[in-house]
Structure 1
Amino acid sequence: MRKPLTIGVDIRDLRVAKTGTKTYLEELCKAFKQMDQSNICFHFLDTSLPIYTGNNKILKWIEHFKYQLWKQLVLPLKAFFKNCDVVFCTDNFVPFIHLGYQTVPVFHDAFFFENPENYGKLWLWLYKKMAIPAAKRAAFIITPTEYAKQQIHRFTQIPNEKLVVVYEGPKSLNETKSNNQPEQLLKAFSILPLQYILHVGSMFKRKNIPTLITAFAKVKKAGFEHLKLVLAGPIPPAANETDYKLILEAIKKNQLQNEVVLTGYLPDTALSQLYQNALLYVFPSVNEGFGIPVLEAFAHNIPVLVANNTCLPEVGGDAVLQFDPFDTDAVFTAIKTVLEDAELRKEMIRKGQIRLQRFSWEKTARQIVEVFKKAV
C-alpha cells in the first residue's frame, strides 16, 4: 500500500502573525484538518520556545536569531523525523536545506521590495539573504493573485513556472451571525445600523486611510450628515509602518472627531456585527497582495468600493466599483454615486454573492495539495 503524502505545516507563525497572514494560516489549517486523510497526512509543526513580541531592540534581535534557528535547524529536523514529503510555510521563509523533503513557501506580496522603508534593516537583510535563496530552492511558491505573482517575479527573477497562483477565501465570521444582540456593540461606538461606511484593517501606510477620511468629509458636506465612518483595526506597533498620526490629523483637520470611529482591535464576533450592519465597504489601499476584507464584505451583503490598482480589481471583478485612490475627489464621487443609488447597491450586492462563489478555503486547500503532489 502506498505511503500517504506527508506534509509538515509550519504553524509557529500563529503565535505572532496578525491580520491577513494569521487568517491565511488559521483558515488553511482548518481546511487541511477537514480533508480526507486517507491519502494525505498533515503534521502541524510548532516550536516549544516562547516568542518575544515586545519592542526591546536587543530582545528583538535575539528573537530574529531564534526564528532563523527554528527555520533552518529545528523545523528541518522535526520534518525529517516525521518523514515529511513536503514542508509548507506561509510566512515567506522555508528551510534552505532539504532533508528528504521538498519545500513550498507562500509569498503573499512583494512589499519588501516595493516599500523597503517600512521594514527594519535586519529583517530586510534576512529576507534577501535567507528567504529568497531558500525560495529559489523550493519546488513551488504559492502566491495569492496574478498581480502578486507578477511583482514577485519582477523583483526576484524567480521563474514564472515556479510561482503558482492560489486564491484565498473570506475569514470564517459566519458563525457569529446567530448573535442577536449587535445593538450593544453599535451602541458602544455610537453608530446605527446602515448608517456608517466601514473599513477593516490595520492602519498601515499603504491602506491610504487619510485619503478616505478626507473623501468622507466631502460626503458629509454633500448631504449625508447622518453617516459615520468606522475604521476597525489595530495600530501597527512600528512607527515606520503606521499612518495613525496622519489619520488623527485628518480627523482633526476635517472636524470629524465625532464622526469617525476608531475601534482598535476587535474579536471576530464584533467584526462580524460591524460587517452585518454596514451600509458600504470602502477599500482605498494603494497596495495589496490579496485583500480578504473584499470577500468578507461580499459574504455580509455589503456593496464594495475598491481602489483601481494592484490586486483589488482582480479579486473584486465586476462586483466592485473602482476609483483612483490617489484622487480624493474620485473617492468621494464613487462613494456618493453608490449612496445615491439604491438599485446600484442591490446590484452590487447580487454580483458580490456571485463573485464570492469563486473563493473558499476548501478550494484553496485542495489546490495547494495539488501543488504538494506535483512537488514530490
Structure 2
Amino acid sequence: MKVLYDHQSFTGLSYGGVSRYFFELMRSFSKRSDIAFELSLRLSNNEYLDQVSFSRHMRYRSLARSMNVNRLASALNRQYSLSRIRSGNFDVFHPTYYHRYFLKAIGNKPFAVTFHDATSERYGELYPDLGEGLYDVKKQLMRRADCIISVSEFSKQEILRYFPIEPEKIHVIHLGTSLAEQAASVNSDPALVPFSYLLYVGKRPLYKNFNGFFRAVQPVLQQHPDLHLVCAGGGPFSRDEQGLFHAARLANRVHYRPVTDTGLMNLYKHAEAFVFPSLNEGFGIPVLEAFSGGCPVILSDRSSLPEVAGDAAVYFDPENDDSIAQAVERVLTDKALQDQLRRRGTERLSHFSCEKTARQTLEVYQSLC
C-alpha cells in the first residue's frame, strides 16, 4: 500500500500542530514494512522535516520572512502535488490541510481527511482571522472524502454539530507525542531559567485565552513573589502584551522562550505546573507533552481537554478568574497533589503514542482499498 501526502501544512510555517501530526505519522510509517508513502513537497522551511530521509525538499531560510516568497513556494508546491496526484502512483491520498485544489484531479482514488477542530466554526464570526470562510471548503471535502479521521471524540461531535456528515464515516484516532522519547536525554540538564515558574506553551491570541489567564493569575504571582511565568513558543510578545505586563508591574517576571523540542521538554521538567487556559482544543498535544515531562497539569475544563487528561489534571473554568487562580494556587501549595498529578500523568500517557496513532490510521487506509 502507498499513501500520498501533499504539501499544504508544510508550506510557509516552520512549526505547527497540524504539520507535527503528519510528520509523526510519516515518521512512524517510515519504520514499517507494510506501508509506503510519498510527501509531495518541493519547497519548505518546516523544522520537523529537517534532516529526515523521507523528504527531499529544498529550504529557503534566508527568504522565509517574505510573504511573497512563501506564496510563490505554495503555488509551486501545489503544482507539484497536482502532478503527483495525476500520476496516480498511490492507493490513498491524504491532504494535510483543507483545500479543494485536488478534487478535479484525483479521479476515483480514495482519500481521507483529518478533522482537527471546529474552532473556525465556533469562533469564526468573533475572530475572522481563524478562517471564517473555511466552512464551505471543509463541508465539501468531508462530503467527498471516503473517510474522516477525527483526533478526539469531542471533535467528532463537533463535526456532527456543524456539518451534514454521517457518523459512520468518522473514525476517532487520538494523537501521541514523540517528546516522551526525549525525556531521558534531559533528565540531568539544568533548568533553562534560574527561578520557579508556571509554564504556558504555544500561541496566545484569541481563543487561546492567554490574556484572560494572565489577568486571573496576577494575584497568584503577587502572592508568590519568587514565582515567574514562562511562555514557550507562540512568537515574541506583542506591544499590547508587553503593555499588560508593565501595567500589572510584572514585566520582569513574564518571559518568552523560543525553544527546540529538547528545550521545551526541559521547561516541562522544571516547571511548577503547566497551565492550559484555552477555550477550544481539538485534542491538546501540550497536555501529553507535559505528562511526558513529569509536569503537574492545570487545564481548562472545555472541549477535548478532559477527554485527553482524564483524572491526571486539575481543572478550572477558563472564563472565571477566581476559578483559574484557585486551581493554580491549589497545585502550587500542595506537594502531595503535585506528586499525585505526576503519577497520574505518567499513567495517562501510556494510553497515547505516535505508534498507536499510526497503526489505527493504517487500518483506516486499508479499509479504503
Shorter-normalised TM-score: what interval?
0.7 to 0.9
Determine the C-alpha separation between the residues in 1 that align with 2:314 and 2:307. Answer: 12
Determine the C-alpha separation between the residues in 2 that align with 1:179 and 1:231. Answer: 19
Conserved? CA contact 1:7–1:43, under 8 Å: yes
Judging changes above 3 Å, is the alpha-carbon distance between structure 1 residues 204 and 28 closer, same or farther for their aligned structure 2 residues? farther
Determine the C-alpha separation between the residues in 1 that align with 2:137 and 2:305. Answer: 30
Q: Which segment is superposed worse, 134-143 or 175-184? A: 175-184
Per-residue CA deviations over 1:52-79 (Å, capped at 9, x if unaligned) read 86565x7777777x28x82xx6435413
1:262 is paired with a residue whose SS is: strand
Determine the C-alpha separation between the residues in 2 that align with 1:349 and 1:92. Answer: 37
Determine the C-alpha separation between the residues in 2 that align with 1:63 and 1:135. Answer: 26
Per-residue CA deviations over 1:286-332 (Å, capped at 9, x if unaligned) read 11111100000000111101001111111111111110011111111
> Which amino acid letter does the alignment assign opposite residue 310 of structure 2?
G
The reply on whether 1:105 has 2:113 as its aligned counterpart is yes
TM-score, normalization: structure 2?
A: 0.85
> Which amino acid letter does the alignment assign opposite residue 41 of structure 2?
D
Residue in structure 2 matched with residue 198 of structure 1 by the alignment: 199
What is the Cα-based RMSD across aligned positions, in Å?
Answer: 2.7
The reply on whether 1:29 has 2:22 as its aligned counterpart is no
Residue in structure 1 matched with residue 98 of structure 2 by the alignment: 92
Determine the C-alpha separation between the residues in 2 that align with 1:135 and 1:373. Answer: 19
Gaps of 5+ in 2: 44-57
Judging changes above 3 Å, is the alpha-carbon distance between structure 1 residues 120 and 228 closer, same or farther for their aligned structure 2 residues? closer
Per-residue CA deviations over 1:231-253 (Å, capped at 9, x if unaligned) read 111339xxxxxx94553333122
Conserved? CA contact 2:179–2:292, under 8 Å: no
Residue in structure 1 matched with residue 226 of structure 2 by the alignment: 226
1:229 is paired with a residue whose SS is: strand
> Which amino acid letter does the alignment assign opposite residue 202 of structure 2?
G
Measure how far apart 1:368 and its partner are: 0.6
> Which amino acid letter does the alignment assign opposite residue 165 of structure 2?
I
Per-residue CA deviations over 1:192-218 (Å, capped at 9, x if unaligned) read 3xx111111022321111222223221
Residue in structure 1 matched with residue 272 of structure 2 by the alignment: 279
Residue in structure 1 matched with residue 48 of structure 2 by the alignment: none
2:281 is paired with a residue whose SS is: coil
1:185 is paired with a residue whose SS is: coil
Judging changes above 3 Å, is the alpha-carbon distance between structure 1 residues 339 and 279 closer, same or farther for their aligned structure 2 residues? same
**1:6 alignment partner, one of 2, 25, 49:** 2
Determine the C-alpha separation between the residues in 2 that align with 1:99 and 1:74. Answer: 17
Residue in structure 2 matched with residue 239 of structure 1 by the alignment: none
Conserved? CA contact 1:80–1:101, under 8 Å: no
Query: Sequence identity of aligned pairs in percent?
Result: 30
Conserved? CA contact 2:98–2:137, under 8 Å: no
Conserved? CA contact 1:174–1:272, under 8 Å: no
Per-residue CA deviations over 1:324-369 (Å, capped at 9, x if unaligned) read 0111111110011111111111111111111101111100001111
> Which amino acid letter does the alignment assign opposite residue 138 of structure 1?
A
**1:249 alignment partner, one of 240, 243, 251:** 243
Per-residue CA deviations over 1:253-282 (Å, capped at 9, x if unaligned) read 22111111122x322122121112111111
Per-residue CA deviations over 1:15-61 (Å, capped at 9, x if unaligned) read 334321222122111111112x2x332222224698986565x7777
Judging changes above 3 Å, is the alpha-carbon distance between structure 1 residues 308 and 179 closer, same or farther for their aligned structure 2 residues? closer
1:197 is paired with a residue whose SS is: strand
Residue in structure 2 matched with residue 208 of structure 1 by the alignment: 209
Conserved? CA contact 2:11–2:70, under 8 Å: no
Conserved? CA contact 1:80–1:100, under 8 Å: no
The reply on whether 1:40 has 2:41 as its aligned counterpart is no
Conserved? CA contact 2:173–2:360, under 8 Å: yes
1:106 is paired with a residue whose SS is: strand
1:247 is paired with a residue whose SS is: helix
Judging changes above 3 Å, is the alpha-carbon distance between structure 1 residues 319 and 159 closer, same or farther for their aligned structure 2 residues? same
The reply on whether 1:160 has 2:167 as its aligned counterpart is yes
1:281 is paired with a residue whose SS is: strand
Conserved? CA contact 1:318–1:351, under 8 Å: yes
Residue in structure 2 matched with residue 262 of structure 1 by the alignment: 256
> Which amino acid letter does the alignment assign opposite residue 9 of structure 1?
Y
Conserved? CA contact 1:201–1:233, under 8 Å: yes
Q: How does 1:290-305 map to 2 (within 5 A)?
A: 290-305=283-298
Gaps of 5+ in 1: 237-242
Determine the C-alpha separation between the residues in 2 that align with 1:280 and 1:247. Answer: 22
Q: Which segment is superposed worse, 14-23 or 248-257? A: 14-23
2:3 is paired with a residue whose SS is: strand
Determine the C-alpha separation between the residues in 1 that align with 2:226 and 2:207. Answer: 28
Measure how far apart 1:164 and its partner are: 1.5
Residue in structure 1 matched with residue 330 of structure 2 by the alignment: 337
Q: Which segment is superposed worse, 360-369 or 106-115? A: 106-115
Residue in structure 2 matched with residue 240 of structure 1 by the alignment: none
Conserved? CA contact 2:290–2:297, under 8 Å: yes
Measure how far apart 1:176 and its partner are: 6.4
2:259 is paired with a residue whose SS is: coil
TM-score, normalization: structure 1?
A: 0.83
Judging changes above 3 Å, is the alpha-carbon distance between structure 1 residues 183 and 353 closer, same or farther for their aligned structure 2 residues? closer
Determine the C-alpha separation between the residues in 2 that align with 1:352 and 1:361. Answer: 17
Judging changes above 3 Å, is the alpha-carbon distance between structure 1 residues 120 and 313 closer, same or farther for their aligned structure 2 residues? closer
Residue in structure 2 matched with residue 115 of structure 1 by the alignment: 123
Conserved? CA contact 1:7–1:88, under 8 Å: yes
